[in-house]
């Protein structure tokens, strides 16, 4: 990951801008650079992944324009060859150097042709204005806010703007900003044509498109590692990558010291694919001590996100401190597409599809946020194959009747797609899903609830929760998280739309805890 920051205007000094930029130095520890432009400042903290020498350092310049980008542009070499044929020359091997030539040729139409996960800001020196854009899923983070004089600020994380912008908001995925307006260039939830293919045809397309998404994300000039929970999604990514690379990959799993569910399953996958596997064991003390740094890193008060982040944060911390790995592949976004445990309760195919659309629209505030921050705060880069744009577009277009759980097991289409390959053990391929925080250990959730309960009397809880009119805490645990959030991001709760919860309008889903463990269909997931 890298960090970008821009400020439009002349109402802060270079020293003040540099101080704001350094708040996200962990995202880009290799090098930092900023520049004064005519109408403001642009700054960049670099984590070197593609084009590791100094020539790949940003900002990039072309004529009067400048660009900073935190991203991976897949297929950039073909675009680069096209631009060379038009007379452009390049000084680095960085994928992001193609952005300014593309902007010169296509203007803001360029964003729709990018196969990428990115957040970028262009300074147009001729028009003297900033143009910003974010990828259609929101895998790379971008926020915006306005200072007291109305100057707009763009930043990789909200912490860059705390104390400077009155209200900080996530930049909407699939949009670009120009002349004061946010314009949608691609909405991944809009289905152009529903696909009524037979199940075997659907499975074949899922198979081929996901493998292409994984293959793209194996390109890096820095060492790659893989998070392996032992669940379906991360196991498929690891199994496919091991086969594609034809060598030992490095896999990492984490679990509690007393009741980790998934360590044995991760070990089973690692043995099957022949990976160099590492298990990181954590205790109750580790979990409780991680809560505040996790919330500070994430900028959220959401219960599900925080619970699931603790294991990922501690695992990535171990990887950063003990290996030379810079790039991490993960299994996020599969559930939003194929369904959670609670979507088994969807009353109709139409409702299932609406829920998927809602989750894809909001995922940048939840699971994608978790993956980005837990990984980037430890100076690593996250890559998310299930977020491949071609893959997401296809899965969203599948007839939702076929995506519902009418097969006796959730996410059947994905499982069926990989039956023939034998990339992972069949026992893992057909194993029921466990929530990630539960998989790290059932005691993790219980320890957090117990700690929160010890912090507040019932009277304290009832009084303190009333301070918050937006996303009002509804348990002692959620109040604990909210108070820590307000310590670091005072008055900025609107950055997250609400709590991630099952759809309470569905029968069987009106629960008071986001864990799938409280649902009646959890069953074999806990084993």
Q: Assess whether 128 and 226 both reside in one domain.
A: no
Q: Are residues 222 and 331 in the same domain?
A: yes
Residue 52's pLDDT band (cuts 50, 70, 90): low
The answer to the question of residue 483 being in a domain is: no
Residue 20: its pLDDT value, please? 96
Out of 184, 209, 224, a domain closes at 184
- Residues 233-258 have a mean pLDDT of 96
- What mean pLDDT comes out for the span 186-201? 97
Q: Phi and psi (nearest 5°) for 329? A: -95, 140
3-state SS assignment for residue 113: helix
Q: Is the pLDDT of residue 219 over 90?
A: no
Average pLDDT of the chain, as a whole number: 94
Decide if 501 is inside a domain: no
Asked if residue 170 and residue 234 are part of one domain, the reply reads no
Return the higher-pLDDT residue of 75 and 126.
126
**184 catalytic per annotation:** no
* 443 occurs within a structural domain: no
Residue 185 has pLDDT above 90, yes or no: yes
Q: Cα separation of 477 and 100, whole Å?
A: 47
Give yes or no for a contact between 139 and 384, defined as CB atoms under 8 angstroms apart.
yes
Mean pLDDT value across residues 351-376: 96
Alpha helices in 11-168 (DSSP H): 14-21, 76-85, 99-106
For 311, residues 6+ apart whose C-beta sits below 8 A from its C-beta are: 254, 255, 282, 436, 437, 440, 444
Q: Are residues 113 and 223 in the same domain?
A: no
Which pairs count as long-range contacts for 512-515, CB under 8 Å and 24+ apart, including other chains? 512/474, 512/475, 513/303, 513/475, 514/303, 514/304, 515/304, 515/307, 515/435, 515/437, 515/438, 515/445
CA atoms 335, 341, 347, 349: torsion sign = positive
Q: Say if residue 162 is in the same domain as residue 248.
A: no
Give kind and range of the element (H or E) at residue 413: helix 412-417
pLDDT at 527 over 80: no
Please give the structure tokens belonging to residue 392: 């997401």
Residue bearing the bigger pLDDT, 234 or 51? 234
Distance CA(433)–CA(463), nearest Å, equals: 38
Same domain flag for 52 and 140: yes
In the predicted structure, residue 268 carries a pLDDT above the cut 80: yes
Residue 523 has a pLDDT of: 61
Q: Is residue 510 part of a domain?
A: no
CATH number at residue 301: 3.40.50.620
Q: Is residue 241 part of a domain?
A: yes
Do both 204 and 178 map to the same domain?
Answer: no
Q: Is residue 95 situated within a structural domain?
A: yes
Q: Residue 436 pLDDT more than 60?
A: no
Coarse DSSP helix, strand, coil percentages of the chain, rounded to the nearest 5 percent? 45, 20, 35
For residues 396 and 506, what is the distance between their CA atoms, to the nearest angstrom?
Answer: 21
145's enclosing H/E stretch is strand 143-146
Q: 258 and 207, same structural domain?
A: yes
Contacts with 364 (C-beta within 8 Å, 6 or more apart), sequence order: 137, 138, 139, 141, 170, 173
Find the CATH number of the domain harbouring 125: 3.60.20.10
Residue 228 has pLDDT above 80, yes or no: yes
Beta carbons of 115 and 122 less than 8 angstroms apart: no
Asked if residue 519 belongs to a domain, the reply is: no
What average pLDDT does the segment 335-353 reach? 96
State the pLDDT at residue 433: 67
Residue 73 corresponds to which tokens in the numbers above? 């542009």
**Region 190-199 average pLDDT:** 96
Rounded Cα–Cα distance for residues 220 and 202 (Å): 30
Report the percent of the chain where pLDDT is more than 70: 97
514 found inside a domain: no
The tokens of 514 are what? 């986001």
Question: Catalytic pick from 2, 96, 120, 238?
Answer: 2
Tell me the average pLDDT across 35-48: 92
DSSP 3-state of 426: helix
What is the residue range of 408's domain?
Answer: 199-432
Tens digit of pLDDT for each residue in 404-422? 999 999 999 999 999 999 9
Q: What is the pLDDT of residue 398?
A: 98
Residues 167 and 204 in one domain: no
**Res 47: pLDDT:** 82
Considering 401, 432, 463, which residue would you say is the last residue of a domain?
Answer: 432
**pLDDT at residue number 514:** 87
CA atoms within 13 Å, Cβ hemisphere of 276: 7
Give the residue among 272, 281, 279, 202 at the shortest CA–CA distance from 238: 272
Among candidate residues 114, 149, 184, the one where a domain is terminated: 184
Q: Are residues 260 and 346 in the same domain?
A: yes
Q: What is the pLDDT of residues 98-117, one digit of tens each?
A: 999 999 999 999 999 999 99
Task: Please count the structural domains in the chain.
Answer: 2
Most confident of 256-260, 261-265, 319-323: 319-323
Q: Do 121 and 230 share a domain, yes or no? A: no
Please enumerate in sequence order all residues whose Cβ is within 8 A of that of 514, keeping only pairs 6 or more positions apart, or say none: 303, 304, 499, 500, 501, 502
pTM score of the predicted model: 0.95
The owner of tokens 């026992």 is 427
249, 167: one domain: no
Q: What is the widest separation between alpha-carbon atoms in the chain?
A: 71
């Amino acid at each position: 990951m890298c960090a970008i920051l821009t400020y439009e205007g002349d109402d802060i000094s270079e020293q003040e801008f540099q101080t704001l930029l350094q708040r996200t130095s962990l995202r880009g520890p290799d090098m930092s650079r900023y520049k004064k432009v005519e109408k403001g400042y642009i700054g960049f903290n670099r984590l070197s992944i593609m084009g590791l020498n100094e020539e790949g350092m940003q900002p990039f310049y072309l004529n009067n324009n400048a660009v900073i980008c935190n991203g991976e542009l897949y297929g950039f070499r073909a675009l680069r060859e096209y631009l060379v044929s038009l007379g452009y020359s390049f000084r680095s091997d960085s994928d992001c150097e193609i952005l300014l030539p593309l902007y010169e040729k296509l203007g803001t139409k360029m964003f729709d042709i990018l196969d990428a996960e990115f957040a970028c800001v262009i300074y147009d020196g001729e028009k003297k204005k900033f143009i910003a854009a974010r990828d259609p899923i929101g895998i790379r983070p971008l926020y915006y806010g306005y200072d007291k004089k109305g100057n707009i600020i763009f930043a990789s994380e909200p912490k860059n703007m705390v104390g400077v912008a009155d209200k900080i908001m996530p930049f909407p995925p699939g949009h670009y900003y120009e002349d004061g307006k946010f314009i949608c260039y691609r909405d991944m939830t809009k289905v152009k044509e529903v696909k009524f293919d037979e199940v075997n045809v659907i499975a074949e397309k899922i198979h081929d498109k996901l493998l292409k998404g994984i293959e793209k994300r194996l390109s890096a000039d820095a060492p790659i590692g893989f998070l392996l929970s032992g669940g379906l999604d991360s196991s498929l990514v690891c199994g496919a990558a091991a086969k594609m690379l034809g060598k030992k990959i490095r896999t990492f799993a984490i679990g509690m010291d007393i009741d980790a569910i998934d360590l044995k399953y991760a070990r089973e996958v690692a043995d099957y694919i022949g990976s160099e596997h590492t298990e990181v064991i954590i205790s109750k003390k580790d979990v409780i001590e991680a809560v505040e740094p996790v919330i500070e890193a994430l900028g959220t008060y959401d219960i599900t996100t925080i619970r699931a982040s603790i294991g990922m944060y501690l695992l990535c911390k171990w990887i950063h401190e003990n290996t030379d790995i810079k790039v991490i592949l993960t299994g996020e976004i599969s559930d939003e597409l194929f369904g959670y445990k609670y979507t088994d309760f969807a009353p109709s195919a139409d409702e299932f599809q609406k829920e998927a659309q809602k989750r894809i629209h909001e995922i940048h505030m939840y699971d994608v946020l978790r993956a980005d921050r837990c990984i980037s705060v430890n100076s690593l880069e996250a890559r998310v194959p299930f977020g491949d744009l071609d893959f997401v577009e296809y899965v969203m277009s599948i007839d939702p009747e076929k995506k519902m759980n009418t097969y006796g097991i959730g996410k059947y289409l994905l499982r069926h797609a990989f039956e023939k390959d034998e990339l992972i053990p069949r026992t893992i391929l057909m194993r029921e899903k466990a929530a990630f925080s539960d998989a790290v250990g059932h005691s993790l959730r219980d320890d957090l609830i117990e700690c929160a309960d010890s912090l507040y009397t019932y009277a304290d809880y009832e009084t303190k929760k009333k301070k918050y009119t937006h996303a009002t805490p509804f348990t002692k645990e959620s109040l604990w998280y909210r108070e820590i959030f307000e310590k670091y991001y005072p008055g900025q709760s609107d950055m997250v739309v609400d709590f991630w919860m099952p759809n309470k309008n569905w029968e069987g889903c009106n629960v008071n805890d986001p864990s799938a463990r409280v649902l009646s269909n959890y069953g074999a997931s806990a084993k």
